[in-house]
């Protein structure tokens, strides 16, 4: 069955992922190498990805009579030799047009991949992923850490050599459509990197080419890439849980409460000191009759409850109405305070 003229067979009808699903797809592509760490990137990796972009990417790949135009990667030195000899290492020692050459400029510049921002100094590494682990006894987590990539700009000169204007127009149209949104992305070992079209030039007037008429069009492209060294990666085991033990010594804390009664003539002073971690309740038997009219020197106490013979006669911290202790009364005083702090107060009264 004959294929109609202009019939296209490379139409992409698959649904493209967008939003968070697309970001996850990019992340999976970066780490898709059997480990959880991203693959390292070198200058050679970017060169190879760029050449593969011209050879195999449907956006810019050009074919003539069903055959792809060959793409030749050259250095500056090989380009000089190539322009003088115009020979290619095949069995005939020459090359037939059309063909495409790629020359990478050796002056790699500081990159713009990070929108002009600089890296944080100190060669720090940052957490890239947290991976659960299991050692057969307990679960843990490993931190996978990577350094900041080093942004670089690499400029490539792409030239198409052809003796037919039709081939030149086809390739030029593919390039123009690929870069109609200012940039297109190429995949370097799973890392998407933007590629800019910087300019298009004509170099058709070249001498010493056996007087053959041909066209040369040059496309200057800049790859906004970055370098990533796998030797700088870190895998740090972490502890997922910590077992803390507390040993308690059951030793009686003596002198829980210090009770200092003072009797001078008819004046009575009862000083109470409740030590830290002490029992907050203290009981004693009154030795004489006394009326208390003052409650002073209160420290770290929120509440004081005084009972006489199991009857509460005071509850609070402000003494308004005097109260009485009679001889042989059983007095119980309970305080409310911070367990780790010392509490104090003083009762002042007179005997009768």
Q: Rounded to an integer, what distance in angstroms lies between the CA atom of residue 98 and that of residue 136?
A: 63
Mean pLDDT value across residues 179-198:
89
10 Å Cβ neighbour count for 133?
A: 12
Contact 146, 226 (CB under 8 A): no
Q: Rounded to an integer, what distance in angstroms lies between the CA atom of residue 65 and that of residue 164?
A: 14
Paired with 155 in beta bridges are 222
How are the residues of the chain apportioned to helix, strand and coil, as percentages rounded to the nearest 5? Answer: 15, 40, 45
10 Å Cβ neighbour count for 337?
A: 19
- Across 5-138, the runs of DSSP E, i.e. the strands, are 63-64, 67-68, 71-74, 99-104, 109-110, 125-134
Look at the alpha carbons of 48, 52, 54, 60 in this order and tell me if their dihedral is positive or negative: negative
Please write down the long-range contacts of 133-140, taking CB distance under 8 Å and 24 or more positions apart.
Answer: 133/237, 138/240, 138/241, 139/240, 140/237, 140/238, 140/239, 140/240
- What is the pLDDT at residue 250? 45
Contact 128, 37 (CB under 8 A): yes
Give ranges for CATH 2.60.120.10 in the chain.
Answer: 257-351
Q: Rounded to an integer, what distance in angstroms lies between the CA atom of residue 154 and that of residue 152?
A: 6
Residue 89 pLDDT grade (very low, low, confident, very high; cuts 50, 70, 90)? very low
What CA dihedral angle connects 167, 170, 175 and 177, to 10 degrees? 180
Averaging pLDDT over each range in 76-85, 132-141, 264-273, which range is the top one?
A: 264-273
Largest CA distance in the chain: 138
Q: Rounded to an integer, what distance in angstroms lies between the CA atom of residue 146 and that of residue 11?
A: 39
Give yes or no for residue 302 having a pLDDT over 80: yes
Contact 270, 293 (CB under 8 A): no
- The answer as to CATH 1.10.10.60 being correct for domain 41-113+150-228 is no
Mean pLDDT value across residues 307-336:
92
- For 132-175, what is each residue's pLDDT tens digit? 887 777 778 888 888 889 999 999 999 998 888 888 899 999 99
Pick the CATH number of 257-351 from 3.40.50.300, 2.10.25.10, 3.40.50.720, 2.60.120.10: 2.60.120.10
Residues 6+ apart with CB under 8 A from 239: 140
Residue 254 pLDDT grade (very low, low, confident, very high; cuts 50, 70, 90)? very low
- What is the pLDDT at residue 165? 86
- What is the pLDDT at residue 82? 64
Give ranges for CATH 3.30.2000.40 in the chain.
Answer: 41-113+150-228
Give yes or no for residue 11 having a pLDDT over 50: yes
What's the mean pLDDT when you consider all of the chain? 81
């Amino acid at each position: 069955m004959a294929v109609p003229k202009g019939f296209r067979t490379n139409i992409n009808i698959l649904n493209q992922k967008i939003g968070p699903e697309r970001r996850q797809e990019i992340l999976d592509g970066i780490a898709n190498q059997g480990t959880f760490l991203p693959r390292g990137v070198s200058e050679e990796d970017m060169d190879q990805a760029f050449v593969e972009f011209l050879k195999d990417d449907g956006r810019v790949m050009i074919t003539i009579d069903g055959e792809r135009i060959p793409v030749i990667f050259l250095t500056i030195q090989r380009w000089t030799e190539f322009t003088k000899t115009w020979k290619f290492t095949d069995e005939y020692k020459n090359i037939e047009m059309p063909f495409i050459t790629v020359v990478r400029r050796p002056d790699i510049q500081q990159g713009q991949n990070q929108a002009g921002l600089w890296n944080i100094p100190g060669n720090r590494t940052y957490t890239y992923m947290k991976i659960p682990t299991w050692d057969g006894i307990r679960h843990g987590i490993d931190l996978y850490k990577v350094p900041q990539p080093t942004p670089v700009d690499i400029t490539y000169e792409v030239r198409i050599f052809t003796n037919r204007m039709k081939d030149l127009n086809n390739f030029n149209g593919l390039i123009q459509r690929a870069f109609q949104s200012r940039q297109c992305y190429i995949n370097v070992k799973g890392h998407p990197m933007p590629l800019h079209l910087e300019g298009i030039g004509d170099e058709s007037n070249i001498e010493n080419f056996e007087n053959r008429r041909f066209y040369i069009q040059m496309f200057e492209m800049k790859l906004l890439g970055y370098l990533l060294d796998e030797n700088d990666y870190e895998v740090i085991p972490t502890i997922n849980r910590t077992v803390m033990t507390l040993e308690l010594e059951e030793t009686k804390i003596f002198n829980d409460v210090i009770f200092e009664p003072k009797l001078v003539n008819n004046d009575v002073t009862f000083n109470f000191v409740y030590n830290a971690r002490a029992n907050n309740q203290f009981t004693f038997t009154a030795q004489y009759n006394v009326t208390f009219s003052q409650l002073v020197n209160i420290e770290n106490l929120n509440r004081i409850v005084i009972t006489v013979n199991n009857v509460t006669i005071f509850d609070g911290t402000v003494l308004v109405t005097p109260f009485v202790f009679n001889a042989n009364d059983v007095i119980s005083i309970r305080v409310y305070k911070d367990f780790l702090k010392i509490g104090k107060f003083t009762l002042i009264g007179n005997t009768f």
